[in-house]
Amino acid sequence: MTTSEVPLTQEKEQEKGAKAKGDRGFRRPRMLGAGKQLHAGPVTYVVLTVFALVSLAPLVWTAIAASRTDQRLAQTPPPLWFGGNLFNNLERAWEEASLGTAMFNTTLVATTITVGTVLFSTLAGFAFAKLRFKFSSALLLLTIGTMMIPPQLAIVPLYLWMADLGWSNQLQTVILPTLCTAFGTFFMRQYLVQALPTELIEAARVDGASSLRIVWHVVFPAARPAMAVLGLLTFVFAWNDFLWPIIALNQDNPTVQVALNALGTGYVPDQSVIMAGALLGTLPLLIAFLLFGKQIVGGIMQGAIKG
């Protein structure tokens, strides 16, 4: 370890003006005066490994517990390796805790919310980023300000209205309120400010293209990488949304989180089945992280740097 070692700071440069493809994992080695770059030492790897183990252990242990029997989980010491009861427990969670229905419902809900949020956010983000109109900066500030309002402020009236409409326990009650978000609008605005050249829009306008044609042929292609990342982030958010769904829905027509809540409050008192439910309800997102982890990480970092 020498004093001239300095953290890497290259990524910001790459990102400026670039069409950051949600791809921020890549680094160019930084050369300093003495030709040294800041490589991680063994201590860094040890500490990171500890963090990684703590991050993964509860998930691995969920799978271990889901593969055991309830009686085994009540004994000391707790099991540290997999047993043979996984499929039995998964099947019981699927049937008794309605996780089958729940997975289907959540997939439907999260997909609809994702499509709506990405579409509406791209349109609004484009307007805020590239179009001139009265009160645009005030409206943008207002949009950002709305992120501070907790969902608790809306749930009593929403609950009463949904009951009036006879919508209790129907999926549209959890889809509609989150179909368009301030975060998404701001996220797309921040991306399009730098990724979409204003001249491109003006050229299209000179050619006589209508607003909708410009959106379709110019904005959407330029926004595509950020739309994909926003889609992933929204899907994760929608899959895990908890407060409003547990109030609006019940075990007759649950989402995954509603079913897990029912499991946690004693709907099925068998711990190994509860763990099987938790595993099943998390698995789709873990698979998504395995496939698109790089893009999700990039999206969070991209949203942060300008936020």
Partner 1 sequence: MKASPYAFISPFFIFFGAFSLVPLLYTAWYSLHNVQLSDLDNQTWAGLDNYQNLLSSDFFWNSLWVTLVIGVISTVPQLIMAIGLAHLLNYKLRGSTVWRVVMLTPYATSVAAATLVFVLLYSWDGGMINWLLDFVGVDPINWRESDWGSKFAVSTIVIWRWTGYNALIYLAAMQAIPADLYESASLDGANRWQQFRHVTVPQLRPTILFTVVVSTIGATQLFGEPLLFGGVSGSKGGSGHDYQTLGLYMYDQGWVIGNLGKASAIAWSMFLILLLIAVINLLVSRRLRKSQ
Residues that contact partner 1, how many (by CB under 8 A): 116
Q: Select the residue interacting with partner 1 from 115, 204, 228, 297 (CB under 8 A).
A: 297
Are 62 and 278 in contact, with CB atoms under 8 Å apart?
A: yes
Output 108 or 163, the one with its CB closest to partner 1: 163
Q: Select the residue interacting with partner 1 from 35, 42, 84, 150 (CB under 8 A).
A: 150
**Footprint (CB under 8 A) of partner 1, residues 48-107:** 48, 51-52, 54-56, 58-59, 61-62, 65, 73-78
Task: Return left, alpha or beta for 144; rule: phi > 0 is left, psi -120 to 50 is alpha, else beta.
Answer: alpha
Question: Does residue 278 touch partner 1 according to CB under 8 A?
Answer: yes
User: Among all chains, which residue has been given the structure tokens 């006879």?
Assistant: 166
Question: For residue 229, how many other CB atoms are within 10 A of its CB?
Answer: 26
User: Among all chains, which residue has been given the structure tokens 């069409």?
Assistant: 19
**Footprint (CB under 8 A) of partner 1, residues 183-212:** 185, 205, 211
Q: Select the residue interacting with partner 1 from 17, 87, 104, 131 (CB under 8 A).
A: 131
* Helix or strand run (H / E) with residue 13: helix 11-15
The one-letter amino acid at 7: P
Output 3 or 166, the one with its CB closest to partner 1: 3
Q: What is the spatial distance between Cα 211 and Cα 209, in angstroms, rounded to a whole number?
A: 7
Supply the minimum distance, in Å, between the C-beta of residue 87 and partner 1: 19
Supply the minimum distance, in Å, between the C-beta of residue 169 and partner 1: 14
User: Among all chains, which residue has been given the structure tokens 């003495």?
Assistant: 34
Output 56 or 108, the one with its CB closest to partner 1: 56
Provide the CB-side half-sphere exposure for 124 (13 A, CA).
19
Task: Return left, alpha or beta for 35; rule: phi > 0 is left, psi -120 to 50 is alpha, else beta.
Answer: left
**Footprint (CB under 8 A) of partner 1, residues 244-263:** 247, 256-257, 260-261, 263
Interface segment toward partner 1; rule CB under 8 A; list 9-17, 93-101, 192-200, 222-230: 9-17
Question: Does residue 301 touch partner 1 according to CB under 8 A?
Answer: yes
Are 176 and 116 in contact, with CB atoms under 8 Å apart?
A: no
Question: Does residue 146 touch partner 1 according to CB under 8 A?
Answer: yes
